[in-house]
Amino acid sequence: MVVQEPLVFLNFRGADVRDSFISFLVDAMRIAGIKVFIDNDEMKGEDLNILFRRIEESKIALVVFSRRYMESKWCLNELVTIKKCIDEKKLVAIPIFFKVEPDELTELLDNACREIHGNAHDTHIMKKWMEALTCIKSKTGLTFKEKSNEANFVKEIVDKVLQRLSTIQCLEEEPKMATLSGIEYRLKQVEEKMCFDRGDETRIVGIVGMPGIGKTTLATELFNKYRCKFNRCVNFLRIGENFLDFGPGRLRKMFLEGLLQKPIAKLSDEATYDDYLKRNKVFVVLDDVSSATEIEVLLGNRNWIKKGSKIVIITRDRAFITEFDPNPYVVPRLNPRDGWKHFSFYAFEAGICDLERRDYVKMSREFVDYARGNPLALSLLGRDLVGKGEVFWKATLDALAKCPNQSIQELLKISYNELSEKEKDAFLDIGCFFRSEDEYYARSLLGSRDHDSEAASQITDLAFKSLISISGGRVEMHDLLHTFALELCSLSTNQEKCRLWKCQDIIAALQDKMINNSVKTVRGISLDMSEVTDMPLDTSVFTKMCNLLYLKFYNSTCPRECEGDCKLNFPDGLSLPLEEVRYFDWLKFPLEELPSDFNPKDLVDLRLPYSKITQVWKVPKDTPKLKWLDLNNSRMLQKVSGFSKAPNLLRVNLEGCTSLDCFSFKEMQTMESLVFLNLRGCTSLWHLQDMNLISLKTLILSGCSNLCKFPLISENLESLYLDGTAVRDLPSDIVKLERLVSLNLKDCRMLNFVSRALIGTCYPGYEVPPWFSHQAYGSVLEPQLPPHWCDNKFLGIALCAIVSFRDYSVKSNRLVAKCICEFENLDAPGSRFSVPVEGWFETGDEPRTIESDHVFIGYISWLNIKKRREEMFKTGCVPTKAILRFQVTDGRTGEDIAQCEVVKCGFCLVYEPDDEVSSAAERRRMNGESQEDEVRTLISTEDGPIETPTTAKSENSFS
């Protein structure tokens, strides 16, 4: 094995103490986290002179004098080297007098030289031995007598070594250590999980997180704080490393010796030790666990753990500890303020950043932003920068933008090397192609040809190992890990699987000029077209890329690449015999259709935005895995054909396909999984055939200005956008849309009639619906509106009143709830106006009593608001303060009905929904996943309200 630079070197006579005292001492020091070197750690066959180098590399030497120590020339020569290092102030020596007195040593050396070493006492070496002995034995040491307790003596040595290490300024570890900023908060969170205040409750708690996030630091703080409350405790460090170095038997032995605080000769009868341990509660920290086997070796069947014990398991992979703690503590990254403090401690000699040095302040913030709250990364960066000038700082920042810090990279590589090959593929694919993508989308694309479920397992495993995270339904990767993944891909151009993201590497592959490699190893390409000049390519450029899975040609400066055509030209045509491609995204695809040799059997996502295609392919092709089809703004597309064998298609985006005039009923009817269809801006579309897309939830026909008739093509629609169409009438069976929560009829100027059920409502109830962002008790509401609240996406205002009829016997069959709106500029004309909320209209004139409260909901449209806005505020900002007063009037006379009390009221601003799907819930809806109890608000025709997902937010709500 490769020996790391030790902190403590052991010098001893093996024949006396190796298999007893030294064995116990080494285990005890390693349990305490002390790096110790013993000669049998060296690789077999190594030159023994390497031991002298180990002495020079160490910080402390433990010299164990025993009765037969002087008989070994090797021990004495090591002693000379130890003295030399002491004289050079590179080493501290602690003598251990094991069953021998200091005063006896000189005589023992004389006798050994005379009887064993021949004439050595007459030589120069004898003088060196004596000088070294005199130097070392005169130092303060520890003495073990014949009848002393060996376990106590070992503990005394460990404590002495730890004490000396704490005073040495040239330690290998950290010359300067900061108290981790924000650790108090993290400590409190772990303490709550440990339940230290419940003495009879046994707790096994996991602490997990990415490398360098501070797991061990946090657990060590916890251990030091609570160890005094337990008779038996051990902070067992570097378990994964020790397991590899010493094996399970030795690891178990070291662990038990740490708990029992005494040497164990053999583990033949562990039941005896278990019985002994059951007498006391224990506090155990297991650090850096890298496999379930290690936990099993150390904890066994756990019968020995007394009730009330506390155990902490630290690991980078939470999968190992789900049995013990299904919800482990995930160490959060430092917030920017704590990250700044932590970085400043290491980067500036004074430990803080001088705020007057603005250049350093600005660069410090960039370093903190780069590390993204990782404490170890912040400290490593700070140590590299401390005492350096501004030029060095700037050069380091520039370098980090291209390549991660070497020390950070080595740290992350430990976790990466522990992954399986499939996990490595998934990690690198996410880092290069699918960072921040929807989780369901990433799982679909990462799935293998025959085992799509494997992708789900790999993403879960990577999340458990803290190499990715799932946040808001998206797959996220820490910036450090992302940079690390890209760097690995850059270095893997000579490997079996190449992921190309650098422009020069991709061009080399497209021109078949890859160095020391064949293009057949290319797994993925992500080319930023803004970095490319016009380039003619051979027709067979992709022919050799038989293992290509992911292809993406995009433009980072403009997603539409407004200027010019595709910069990749194929004067002789293009061949695409790609058999395994899953993701095909080509901005401004230059051909009229995909080549006939393109095989989409594994294709999951096909994107050809702003392309020149007139049709995707002529004849139907087997596309059993295709889920996403995006041909937006392909203005020459005339028909969507060839997808009758795509039963799993979920989303189709044809926005801006202005030449598309109709749909094939036969093709569409086979899309039983389709949940989202976007035809926005398809200005040539004039006809939709009658069909039943049983899964369709969202249909967007906005701006289809030639569409005059709308047939109900799905009874499961939840969102329907007909704004800007030429639709004259809504189908009579629209009442079948029981799940409809969003209907947009804005600018439907040809529309003759809208059912009143769609523009207002009144029903028994006593709560304002939660989508009303401003709510209040009583009849008066004073909302604080956002600046420029009636911008170009503003549609109107929705109003709600809860009316109590307790003191009123209905005498009129026409009641109207209305709202008087007053804006803050009360002197402006039109700043006060009345809006009907909703009415109650019944036949007959007989009075009757209404026992329940009723909910009245109504709407004022954008056009009415716009007219008043233009009258009131011809220039400048619109007012942001308003007073809304609700009341109930007689629908015939207009008189107030005082006995009808408005007990609650609500108000919200209504806007067009954003084009991008922003919420995780909405993404699940778009992917066909059910979503219960989602709330939507009202949008409108020019005369009444309908529902939409987007409303302004406010704090003026009541509970």
The answer to whether residues 678 and 697 touch, using CB atoms and an 8 Å cutoff, is no
User: Are the beta carbons of 710 and 731 closer than 8 angstroms?
Assistant: yes
Burial status of residue 40 (CB atoms within 10 A of its CB: 0-12, 13-18, 19 or more): exposed
Query: Two tokens at 856?
Result: 């009245």
Measured CA to CA, the distance from residue 658 to residue 656 in angstroms comes to 5
Considering 5, 42, 57, 78, which one is annotated as catalytic? 78
78 noted as active-site residue? yes
Tokens 């490997």 sit on residue = 495
CA distance 935 to 917: 16
Strand (E) or helix (H) holding 116: none
Distances (CA, A) of 297 to 251, 254, 266: 8, 11, 16
Strands (E) located in 829-918: 832-841, 848-849, 854-861, 882-890, 901-911
CB atoms within 10 A of CB 865: 21
Q: Which residue spans within 48-89 are E strands per DSSP? A: 60-65
From 95, 86, 84, select the one nearest 129 (Cα to Cα).
84
Tokens 């037969």 sit on residue = 68
H helices, E strands: number in the chain = 25, 38
What does the block give as tokens for 529? 């077209």
Which residue shows structure tokens 């979920």? 650
Distance CA 698, CA 22 (A): 74
Up-side HSE of residue 830: CA atoms within 13 Å toward CB?
Answer: 13
Contact 844, 745 (CB under 8 A): no
**Angstrom distance (rounded) from CA 744 to CA 946:** 7
**Residue 477 CB coordination number (10 Å):** 21
How is 198-265 classified by DSSP, letter by letter?
A: -TT--EEEEEE-STTSSHHHHHHHHHHHHGGG-SEEEEE--HHHHHHHHHHHHHHHHHHHHHHTS--S
How many Å apart are CA 761 and CA 950, to the nearest integer?
A: 20
Q: Which residues, including other chains, have CB under 8 Å from residue 309's CB and lie 6 or more apart?
A: 202, 230, 281, 282, 283, 284
Contact (CB, 8 A) for 346 and 364: no
Q: What is the full DSSP assignment across 296-318?
A: HHHHTTSTT--TT-EEEEEES-G
In a 3-state reduction of DSSP, which class is residue 274? helix
Q: Which of 13, 6, 17 is nearest to 55 (CA)?
A: 6
Phi, psi of 108 (to 5 degrees): -65, -35
DSSP codes, 485-526? HHHHHHHTTTSSSEEE-SHHHHHHHHTT--TTS-GGGEEEEE
Q: How far apart are the first and last CA of the chain?
A: 65
Cα dihedral 156→158→164→170 (10° resolution):
170
How many CB atoms lie under 10 A from the CB of residue 15?
A: 12
- Residue 818's identity, in one-letter code, is K
The answer to whether 663 and 689 are in contact (CB under 8 A) is yes
Active site residues: 78
